[in-house]
Structure 1
């Protein structure tokens, strides 16, 4: 419905505070109904008075429900009109994303209707957090369909809107226990579409922030559905090219799982290395940051199951052409917990050193970056002091492999020379 013909009706309504208590509820409902009128914001010069009157009315509703008397107005009888008003203002189709939009580079497109939208969100938030609102009664209107619409709105380009949505959806999750499983599934579906179809979504970071708090509240032992959520929805989020936009929030969720159940580290690390961004050095540094946090929580049982995969990939990082990746990998040995009692300790030297000796030695003997060279020398020295016999064996094996590699290269070169010579002879 257009707002141009109706703003006068809003203007003529008296203020809620000026009315006797018994007359406030019907007036409140009337204001809700008129605030359900939607104005077009395509042209900022059209309907200026009507837009301003609606905004002032919404602000009045927010101001009123912030009072003790206003809280009492959140009765079952007004809930339908309240949700109709909120749905009319908030639930809408988002404009299609432009093909050339780059979230890492471009400024977001701000919502033109924000003067109304912001106050509508603020008002709805007051409703959700109110102790006067009974979840069992309100869930008939704050239903699964409405929750799904909120989840879909997280794709809004406007960060202000996503911030409100994050707070509101989290509050709904906390208050409406019967909706919790549905909300998690709705978020999962957003992640699936993002990872496997579009790789475009503006609200992955905000959804992960909500999940960080949700996962924190999971009971131990973790339920099967919560473990499936980790494997199917969270770990694959490491794949998209734009992972750096939400990596901090994703890493927090992953660490929450490992803290609650160290056994999850095995599935996490296996999936983690499958998604490792070998072609992007800056993302590898991010992943190494996350890896360090996971390794701090890794127990001996889990390490035994994942050691070969872990140290093989770590050796590959140490052998990287990009010095920042090598440097960040070497910084793992500056972590006292990992070195004293974790996966890099003396106890695990026989698992670690044979796999990483080669790239460590190469970095320690003439790397162009002095920091990398010094760090590699320190790590080698540490393992030499741990177990000299092991160190000598690794050194001997390494040079044998190098010599064998040179011999095989020489044989291949000789064979090609023979082929070339025969070809020239037969011309």
Structure 2
């Protein structure tokens, strides 16, 4: 077999050309394989005018590609076969580590990709099954690759804050962008039949697309987000698989690595998906909220994707108001203790959730919620205290508090009084005065009762402190007297 292949590879040009027209007629209905630079080309129906082979290149040499005619320069009947030939040219991969190497061939591939994108976008050529298979295979050859290691993995240095790292820009982007654009145009094309396309854009293809979200190049992740979203919308058969695969990515991020570049983009896709959930909501979707979305508040780099996460959480409350209690208790479970910037983010998200919360659900969680808010009000970090006080600028939240003031006011009164007596930040002091006045106007009797209770509590605390100090003084006196007696015994 090997001898036959070698003999076939060594055939002379004229014989190949003579044999080409006979083979060309079978191309539209045949299974076309990807044509790499080292693999001989599948003949096209345009070969009557002359053969177009991808020349082979010896090992270690630069990939070689040939120039093919433009689509407008060939008859309509031959354009589908030419489309396949151009796809095969675009399956040649170039090394972009050296910008000067194969510069002409790289530009030819870029122009060819651009032409293919225009053709798919304009729907000027009907894409048969074999053409679609070749298109998806060409995309796979280009985009499914080993991603470069993360910056901290390259140097072996300590893991740095992902927010402080400069984004990595893939040098092969001039080609990758056009390949992604080609895939996107193919997916969204009205001529693409999902019954045919799902044979090639299958679960394996989708899973590998999801793997690429770990790319550190933000341009690539943006394309991947758009493409995956379109696949989810067009291929209903893939929807459960995509949701489950995203779930697994989140689990690994939360409980193992805490490093993934594409969490924000995946959450953006989910925000749109959640918005389209039918009511009543399936149990699967509620479990996804409890097991994946809420625990996403735990990782340290939550700031990188918090805006998208917050949007998803609020979507759940707006879809089903009964989930508000579950979500608020979940936020309290993962509330940061020492990270003040995360605390500010949590307070912002909490305000959005409370804005969509109904009174019945609010009453279920208001006690643990306002105990936490009370801690935030008295925080020495002025941004945390300030953000907590801003909750009283929201009319809906104020109305919820007013309806349950007999429970809430006693919980937070002490924090307000301590802020008035000694918070170092003037802005916090002013906001506290406004909130305190709001409570006074809302229910003066309750305000006075809480004030008396606070004064009594302070007096009791002062009395306990005096008793404690008195007890320590008595103990010190006893120890001194004992020491004096021992000194007298030693002296005698």
TM-score of the superposed pair, with normalisation by structure 2: 0.82
> Which residue number corresponds to residue 172 of structure 1?
231
Distance 2:474 2:198 in 1: 82
How many aligned positions are there?
422
CA shift, 1:90, in A, is: 0.7
Structure 1 148/422 Cα, relative in aligned 2: closer, same or farther at 3 Å? farther
Q: Deviations over 1:399-420 (max 9, x none)?
A: 2222222233333333444444
**Secondary structure of 1:12 counterpart:** coil
Higher mean alpha-carbon deviation, 78-87 vs 276-285, is at 276-285
The yes-or-no answer on 1:83 pairing with 2:136 is yes
Higher mean alpha-carbon deviation, 124-133 vs 277-286, is at 277-286
> Which residue number corresponds to residue 56 of structure 1?
111
Point out the structure with max Rg over C-alpha: 2
> Which residue number corresponds to residue 402 of structure 1?
458
> Which residue number corresponds to residue 299 of structure 1?
358
- Residue among 129, 136, 141 paired with 2:200: 141
CA shift, 1:120, in A, is: 0.2
Structure 2: gaps of 5 or more residues? 1-35, 39-54, 153-158, 484-492
> Which residue number corresponds to residue 76 of structure 2?
21
Would the aligned equivalents of 1:2 and 1:39 in 2 still touch at CA under 8 Å?
no
CA shift, 1:242, in A, is: 1.0
**Secondary structure of 1:93 counterpart:** coil
The yes-or-no answer on 1:217 pairing with 2:276 is yes
Structure 1 11/423 Cα, relative in aligned 2: closer, same or farther at 3 Å? farther
Structure 1 9/97 Cα, relative in aligned 2: closer, same or farther at 3 Å? closer
The yes-or-no answer on 1:348 pairing with 2:404 is yes
Q: Deviations over 1:110-167 (max 9, x none)?
A: 1121111111001110000001111122111101111111111111110000000010
**Secondary structure of 1:104 counterpart:** helix
CA shift, 1:425, in A, is: 4.7
**Secondary structure of 1:263 counterpart:** helix
Q: Deviations over 1:68-111 (max 9, x none)?
A: 413x2x33231111111000001112122232453211211111
Distance 1:167 1:419 in 2: 73
Would the aligned equivalents of 2:67 and 2:108 in 1 still touch at CA under 8 Å?
no
> Which residue number corresponds to residue 377 of structure 1?
433
Structure 1 257/248 Cα, relative in aligned 2: closer, same or farther at 3 Å? same
Distance 1:287 1:416 in 2: 43
Distance 2:472 2:237 in 1: 72
Structure 1: gaps of 5 or more residues? none
- Residue among 457, 462, 469 paired with 1:413: 469
Distance 2:473 2:294 in 1: 49
Q: Deviations over 1:53-77 (max 9, x none)?
A: 111111111122222413x2x3323
The yes-or-no answer on 1:288 pairing with 2:347 is yes
Higher mean alpha-carbon deviation, 246-255 vs 411-420, is at 411-420
- Residue among 228, 239, 245 paired with 2:298: 239
- Residue among 302, 307, 315 paired with 1:248: 307
TM-score of the superposed pair, with normalisation by structure 1: 0.94
Higher mean alpha-carbon deviation, 395-404 vs 146-155, is at 395-404
Structure 1 22/386 Cα, relative in aligned 2: closer, same or farther at 3 Å? same
- Aligned CA RMSD, in angstroms, stands at 1.9
The yes-or-no answer on 1:358 pairing with 2:414 is yes
> Which residue number corresponds to residue 198 of structure 1?
257
Higher mean alpha-carbon deviation, 409-418 vs 88-97, is at 409-418
Q: Deviations over 1:304-336 (max 9, x none)?
A: 210111111111111111112111111111112
Would the aligned equivalents of 1:205 and 1:246 in 2 still touch at CA under 8 Å?
yes
CA shift, 1:421, in A, is: 4.3
**Secondary structure of 1:385 counterpart:** helix
